[in-house]
Amino acid sequence: MLKRIDPILTGKLLRILRDMGHGDELVIADANFPAHSNSERLVELPGLDAPRVLTAILSLLPLDEFVDRPAATMAAVSPGGADEMDALFQQVCDEAEGRKVEIEHVERFAFYERARRSYAIVQTGERRLYGNIIVKKGIVRPDI
C-alpha cells in the first residue's frame, strides 16, 4: 500500500501509467471486450467496474488538454444503448479534470482498431454493455 495512491492500481498498471507518454492512449474495457486479442500490454482487474477503474486511473493520469476530445467511448449499436455508461464516464472525467471534458463516440469496429493501436488495455469486470473508454494521456505540469 502507498499513501494517496488508490489501492486498486497494481504495480503493473502503475508502471504502464508511468511509462506512457503524452498522446499515448489507454483503454479501460468491459468484461466482454476482446482484450487478449487486441493488446500486447494487458492488465486484468476482473472484480472491478469500469467507472471505478477509470476514477483510480484519472487520479494519476492527466487527460490531454491539447486535443478537443481526450476520451472516446464505444458508440451504441441501438439508440440509447450506452446512455448509462456514457453518463458515468462523463461524470468521472469531468470530476477528475475539474472541467467539462468532451468525449467522442466511436463506432464499434473503429473503436476496436483504435484499441489495437493503444499503449495498453485494462480489462475490468464491468458487465454493463458499452463499458469501454479510451483516454489520451496529457502532460504533467511542473506545478503538480
* pLDDT value at 32 more than 80: yes
Which of these is catalytic: 5, 15, 22, 34? Answer: 22
Q: Does 6 reside within a domain?
A: no
Q: Does 125 reside within a domain?
A: yes
131: domain CATH number is: 3.40.1650.10
Active site annotation includes 36: no
Count of domains forming the chain: 1
Q: Does 101 reside within a domain?
A: yes
Give pLDDT tens digits for 49-68: 999 999 999 999 999 999 99
Which residues span the domain enclosing 74?
Answer: 23-136
Question: What is the rounded (10 degree) CA torsion for 23, 29, 35, 39?
Answer: 10
Residues near 2 by Cβ (< 8 Å), separated by ≥ 6? none
Give pLDDT tens digits for 97-137: 999 999 999 999 999 999 999 999 999 999 999 999 999 99
